[in-house]
Structure 1
Amino acid sequence: MGNSIKSAQFLMEARLSRAAYGSAQDCFDLGVAYSCGAGDLPVDFIEAHKWFNLAASRGSELAQSMRAEIAEEMTAREIAEAQRQARAIIAATQMRAA
């Protein structure tokens, strides 16, 4: 059991790293994982919204829909925090690309 937990953690860490600089699909997958608590992750709507927001900014229409759906379960402060975190990642990736 310990190995499967370590494997899941490694996969999530790798996906987090790729998603910050990667595809809409990587971001979308993280949004799904955080929205339903997959892969030993806790359900975290702020994280889910952030990753759906990043996926949407990279062209995923499904991410736009999922982001709106979970936003209905969030407070205005939670949404603002998710947006702040997404903007920080966008800024960091733009600085790295420059």
Structure 2
Amino acid sequence: MARFDLQNLENGHIAGAAQTDILFEMGIMYATGRDCSVDLVAAHKWFNIAAIKGCDRAAKLRAEIGAKMPKADIAVALREAREWMTTH
């Protein structure tokens, strides 16, 4: 399985569409437990960030995951996404 270089992603070295695809794939990775444990909070966070950057598929999956999550977990995911967007 491919691993993403988060340092390049976080430092902005990956251009627009490619960055959005990586953010979406991060959501998929955490939603499915591919190469990690399933973490719906992290999945929601990455789908939210990808959706903000224009990925319609991420917005749809974020909504599907959100429907299965407690409100407290959604709040954590939204806060983490906001913090990531603020620093990157």
User: Shorter-chain TM-score: what band?
Assistant: 0.7 to 0.9
Distance 2:64 2:29 in 1: 15
**Number of matched pairs:** 82
Q: Given the superposition, is the C-alpha separation of residues 70 and 52 from structure 1 closer, same or farther in structure 2, using an over 3 Å criterion?
A: same
Which runs of no fewer than 5 residues in structure 1 stay unpaired? 1-7, 94-98
Aligned-pair CA distance for 1:11: 2.3
**Aligned partner (choices 49, 52, 59) of residue 57 of structure 1:** 52
TM-score w.r.t. structure 2 length?
0.84
Which of 1, 7, 14 pairs up with 1:17? 7
Distance 1:35 1:19 in 2: 20
What CA deviation, in whole Å up to 9, does each residue of 1:51-95 have, x standing for no partner?
Answer: 0000000000000000001111100000000000000011001xx
Give the 4+ runs in structure 1 shifted more than 4 A.
none
**Structure 1 length normalisation: TM-score?**
0.76
Contact residue 18 and residue 26 of structure 1 kept, 8 A: no
- The sequence identity of aligned pairs, in percent, is 34
1:45 matched to which residue of 2? Answer: 40
- Aligned partner of 1:11: which letter? R
Aligned-residue CA RMSD in angstroms? 1.8
Q: CA deviation at 1:24?
A: 1.1
Provide, for residues 9-66 of structure 1, a one-character-per-residue CA deviation record: whole Å limited to 9, x for no partner: x925x2x334444511110000000001002x00000000000000000000000000
CA–CA separation in structure 2 for the residues paired with 1:31 and 1:87: 15
Runs of 5+ unmatched residues, structure 2: none
